[in-house]
A and B are shown apart, each in its own frame.
Chain A
Amino acid sequence: ELKVEQNPLFLSMQEGKNYTIYCNYSTTSDRLYWYRQDPGKSLESLFVLLSNGAVKQEGRLMASLDTKARLSTLHITAAVHDLSATYFCAVDSDMRFGAGTRLTVKP
């Protein structure tokens, strides 16, 4: 059965710093998704990664996928307060989610 693990589950960082969130999954998959959720809100799509070596960037966020290692990363560059949210990865065509990483960016 597919298992999706994210780490860290909680991340507190200062503005201006860089950090990486990791998403590991247990079975072969060629597609991975990253979503953002603000408190009390729904989820919005950030990235869709469809092949090994895929890299996508939007603003201060960059996502990559290594299907051989079954690993995706979400890299945050020069964090700002507006990035505070919970970030989820999801895998495969039936969208299995990780537990999420709650990110807090402090001034």
Chain B
Amino acid sequence: NAGVTQTPKFRVLKTGQSMTLLCAQDMNHEYMYWYRQDPGMGLRLIHYSVGEGTTAKGEVPDGYNVSRLKKQNFLLGLESAAPSQTSVYFCASSWRPGNMNTEAFFGQGTRLTVV
């Protein structure tokens, strides 16, 4: 049972380059989330999705775009990477809040460095 899988696990980008992070879940969850984690700042929500074809902005959406074309996948794009986007990125998924089991399941993280 794979759960939540993030690709890639590590990446180094040059300033101005673009890339896409892929998150895939096999639990049929409706909700999916992208977070970034920086030292001393906990997890900050970038974007989230409440279902296939929907996306919404979180706390720190600037510089990122997302897409949810398929229920099981949630893509995070950086169009023009900046050093400030150096961080560890986590994807998560959960059932919709009406379901009792609404805890989120997290991927293993992607460590991104922008030089």
The segment out of B11-19, B69-77, B106-114 that lies at the interface is: B106-114
| A4–B102 CA distance with the chains assembled, in angstroms | 19
* CB atoms of A50 and B109 under 8 A apart: no
Given contacts A33-B104, A88-B43, whether A95 and B92 have CB atoms under 8 Å apart is yes
- Nearest B residue to A89 via CB reads B42
* CB atoms of B45 and A96 under 8 A apart: yes
* CB atoms of A88 and B42 under 8 A apart: yes
Which residues from B are CB-within-8-Å of A9? 40
Which residues from B are CB-within-8-Å of A48? 101-103
Contact-residue bracket for chain B: 20 to 34
Residue among A44, A45, A100 with most chain B CB within 10 A? A45
- Total of A-B residue pairs, C-beta within 8 Å: 58
The distance from the CB of B103 to the nearest CB of chain A, in whole angstroms, is 4
Q: Which of A42, A44, A45, A99 contacts B42 (CB 8 A)?
A: A99
* CB atoms of B40 and A99 under 8 A apart: yes
The distance from the CB of A56 to the nearest CB of chain B, in whole angstroms, is 12
Which residues from A are CB-within-8-Å of B106? 42-44
* CB atoms of A42 and B103 under 8 A apart: no
- Nearest A residue to B40 via CB reads A99
- Nearest A residue to B56 via CB reads A94
* CB atoms of A97 and B35 under 8 A apart: yes
Q: Which of A6, A41, A44, A95 contacts B33 (CB 8 A)?
A: A95
- Nearest A residue to B98 via CB reads A93
